[in-house]
Structure 1
């Protein structure tokens, strides 16, 4: 049987993961040490989301949004994708504002885990359902600011600068994968 594109990509990913350092370039410092700290140091949901994204882009760039064919998102065993193993360990499925992790009242913080949770959801329905629930909460139940922008706080309409890298990019990833142009446009507008 001839190898498929998927099996060739999996083979390439395995080779990439087995390399001494997955970085395709030398940044001039020990980037592997930085990523070890990035995995060990986070203690809040937004930090878990940021670390998941950084690990995905660093250790599995072909699977990230920067890869040549990120959509549709394919199934990947979390044991073979370090960022997904990390996300799987850190996500705490809940409800409402705490859909993917305890929020401490911040709408965008758990939502920063949407990319990792959605990717995990390709092989585990619990994560897919939790991702849909998180997105639904942010879009339909989170407060809005006077101009319609989604609030960073769950109790009042409040805009925070760091929110723009938490939910809008996650929503764009999710929207691109499910083929929802309206959601993709909303992610763009909410980022502005």
Structure 2
């Protein structure tokens, strides 16, 4: 026993003597997470979120966060053809469902107004690149989705905010990720500023109804006669921040950027206020967010924690906001580090010993997407959030790791996780 303890102590000392490096997932692990996402995404918003994960992680040249102007190349570079294929399969599935006709309608059938629009960027890119020489069909599908959102068939409140539901006027924080990014990208592809203005206005109206300045966070659902939710749902705040970032990046990379400075300024401030409110009020030593931010009786949710952390890295690279990078690093290190500590993973294709992943790559614990008050099991959107977090962190690192010094102080506090182990190691060597 004493010999084993000494060997353990020596190993720990060697581990702690190594230079501090970033703990990250291997690409094979991210691909495993993506495989679980691909096999499970069936609902409209899950498919749309998967499409965005494909763009941000694989087909990076065609992401709104790429370092190039919008729209992207209509002639697809050779190195992007393979990575785009999963996105094209999503677009093809939309056409096979009958979305390319001449009637204003959502891209896919759904009980929610907002969610089908989340697939819209995939369809717009299929149109723009003339996928399968069917650009007219993809153009019709995208235009039908846009016309549907603007039509009288979709309920809107007195200020013009598009309802998330068809049967009543109701605003959900989720919708900020589904509709405005599509509207903004529609404007870029059609060379029309109006949809970009509409994207901004939708966010403005949603924020006016959902943001609670006293709480520093967004409510989940307001309006309507039933199904309201005044809670400060963590995933809803992450959806809102992520949607606003996509709209900001779309405007910023477009030819209309110079004439929309005030809109961009607002979007930056609105993302920052979510980060400030959530991280300064509701983030604790667990480094994860409660499912309902201000309710200590709700579980720690890895899914919302991952998505919100991804928005911090994106805010750093596209908005120049670095203050909350340390918080994102705390979440990323917590989720992506094996139980045995940094540098101890020996199988970079699986999750052999991770607290927040099953061995086959499912993130846990996660909220049930169909009942946001409960903890769920396998969540497709949570899988997408992992990919978005890894991709955003990777791009932040490539961009120079702004905010790294502040993050270093957080990393130092993270290293205290190993402090007791260090003490044990020293003690065992003295036995």
Q: TM-score, normalised by structure 1?
A: 0.77
Bigger radius of gyration among the two:
2
After TM superposition, give the deviation of residue 70 of structure 1 in Å. Answer: 4.8
Q: Does 1:149 align with 2:155?
A: no
Corresponding residue for 1:17? none
- CA distance 1:26–1:54, shift in 2 (3 Å): farther
After TM superposition, give the deviation of residue 69 of structure 1 in Å. Answer: 2.5
In 1, Cα distance between equivalents of 2:146 and 2:52? 17
Corresponding residue for 1:132? 143
After TM superposition, give the deviation of residue 118 of structure 1 in Å. Answer: 0.7
Matches within 5 A, 1:1-192: 27-28=24-25, 30-73=29-72, 74-76=74-76, 80=82, 81-91=84-94, 92-94=97-99, 95-97=103-105, 99-103=106-110, 105-122=111-128, 123=130, 124=134, 125-141=136-152, 142-192=154-204
In 1, Cα distance between equivalents of 2:172 and 2:165? 9
- CA distance 1:75–1:147, shift in 2 (3 Å): same
SS of structure 2 residue aligned to 1:146: coil
- CA distance 1:131–1:111, shift in 2 (3 Å): same
Deviations, residues 45-95 of structure 1 (Å, cap 9, x unaligned) = 111111111111110111111122352242449963134223124322335
In 2, Cα distance between equivalents of 1:26 and 1:186? 40
- CA distance 1:70–1:100, shift in 2 (3 Å): farther
Determine if contact 1:146/1:157 at 8 Å carries over to the other structure: no
In 1, Cα distance between equivalents of 2:192 and 2:202? 16
- CA distance 1:186–1:37, shift in 2 (3 Å): same
Determine if contact 2:48/2:119 at 8 Å carries over to the other structure: yes
- CA distance 1:79–1:67, shift in 2 (3 Å): closer
- Structure having the larger proportion of residues in strand: 2
Aligned residues, how many?
Answer: 166
Determine if contact 2:124/2:189 at 8 Å carries over to the other structure: no
In 2, Cα distance between equivalents of 1:185 and 1:171? 9
Deviations, residues 134-164 of structure 1 (Å, cap 9, x unaligned) = 0111012311023320111123211111011
Structure 2: unaligned runs, 5 residues or longer: 1-21, 205-431
Determine if contact 2:90/2:122 at 8 Å carries over to the other structure: yes
In 1, Cα distance between equivalents of 2:60 and 2:143? 24
- Between 1:130-139 and 1:87-96, the stretch displaced more is 87-96
In 2, Cα distance between equivalents of 1:26 and 1:179? 42
